[in-house]
A and B are shown apart, each in its own frame.
Chain A
Amino acid sequence: MYVAAKGGEEAIQQAERLYHDLKGKLTPEMVEQVEKGMPYLLDRIMGESSLYAPQLAALALAQAGGDTYEAVLILRAYRSTQPRLAYALPIDSNSMTVVRRISAAFKDIPGGQILGPTLDYSHRLLRLDVLDKELVAEDSGTAELQAADEPSPKQYPPVTDWQRTQKMLPELDSIENPEPADLPDLTREPIMFPTSRPHRLQALARADTGGLLALGYANMRGFGPVHPTVNEVRLSYARVQLKHPVTGTVFSVGNIRVSHAEVVQTTKASKDKVGLELGFCATFGWNEVKNIAGSMLDLAMDREDVHPAFTEEFVLYHTESVESSGFCIHLKLPHYVTFTSGMDAMKDAMMGVGMAQMPTSSKAFEKQDAKSPAPEADLETDEKVSPITAVESESETESEKEMS
């Protein structure tokens, strides 16, 4: 194999080495520590990668020095070429082992409010005592967990079941479980709009947590139509089951952490459409903030005449973590050709408004063919560089003169 190695090639290899040198050595022990000690970070990474594999997520995180966008990219690139060996059976959300489920819509709900594991009501005090190894305070969360007198049930009826009996929500259409292999798969097909329901839910499930949060927050703060009530938030373990390809025996391949949220909002869209609307979001791992924001956006995206920032296309394109982060950092790449081209298109325009003092003696600037002195221009390159917006206001009058 012949690869011409010149300056650029040597430089990038050394730059990568320097990065790893500063970051510290990647060891199996470190990966193990990340896997054991950072479950919620792993959950987030696995959700955004659409790959449930705690050990691989820990490896990706350790390898990327904790940079979450890098870690998600590494995992997704690994996932993208893995063969599909089998499709799991659909998981009935009623069959999952629920460790936490709360509803904000009612004081109490059938089955009860189950707080489960949460930091919601903790005092967010920095645990400085941990640094002082000899003095670990007793009330700092290390006290032993007390078992309840009676074990709580594993399953709970969904709040929406009760709401459906009360006619607050429309009955669900009865549909056959689709063949899993026939479900549209966002990772094997491009997203098109309006999306199918599976594509939308998949896009939300793998969306950037921070991205969904920002848009969800903007929506509920007042720029969107939705300020919902949390109908139910759940953290669960789901058993993944496969059917043996030969014997047809159903067997379990293990439990995964999943979470979902449902939000409701009263609707007065029309006389015959009064009641509750439901928004839904689910993801790998336990990630409540993502699910609440996502379910809120799920609702908002269904509205007509919604603010542009909450349309399906806007939300789902721009919360794609790998694409958004990748395109953002691509601005570090050289753009001098497009810049030259853009500046060339502006030359005449700039001469016309006395903006010739460019850091260059290029004669081409003197050759301008000033048909019209020109003000601000939307310089079209792929990155929309607009270097001379400053001349906008003062040149306005001149161009008006020219026009009349």
Chain B
Amino acid sequence: MNAYAKTLSVIVLAALPAGLALAQDAGCIELKTTAQTERTVIGADGKPHTQLAPATTVVPGTEVIWTITATNVCDKPAGNVAIDSPVPEHMSYVADSAAAAAVTVSYSIDGKRYGSPAAIVVREADGTTRSARADEYRHVRYAMRAPLAPGESLSASHRTRVQ
């Protein structure tokens, strides 16, 4: 076990009783997920530019950019903010595509144990083990290192590819 996993397991466990206690209240974080694809357009300068557009034309092999934005809509800081974004069915995570400021990114295959890429190990049928490939990750988690102040937003994005 590493430091990521310890920290994150605390969050998971603590969230369960709190969920029961506070279910009736409005939440303090607004969470938004967008799916976009890159497309190349010729700009006014005659040169190709890459633009982001809503993911509508998507075929096997297309990379989709998921952007998750968490905004603190309360008047108190939110601590231990951790966003879990499962890799959708029929998609594979694109290696090294997770990007966000001031967060710790960790990954998981089973949605239970999270870790850095080096810590995620796959056991083969013959009993040998190896590091998981990025396309085997089924979850991406962004854990903020500092509290999210009222009115502030955290924006995190990563890519997954249609299988």
Question: Do these two chains really belong together in a complex?
Answer: no
Chain A residues packing against B (C-beta within 8 Å):
none
Chain B residues packing against A (C-beta within 8 Å):
none
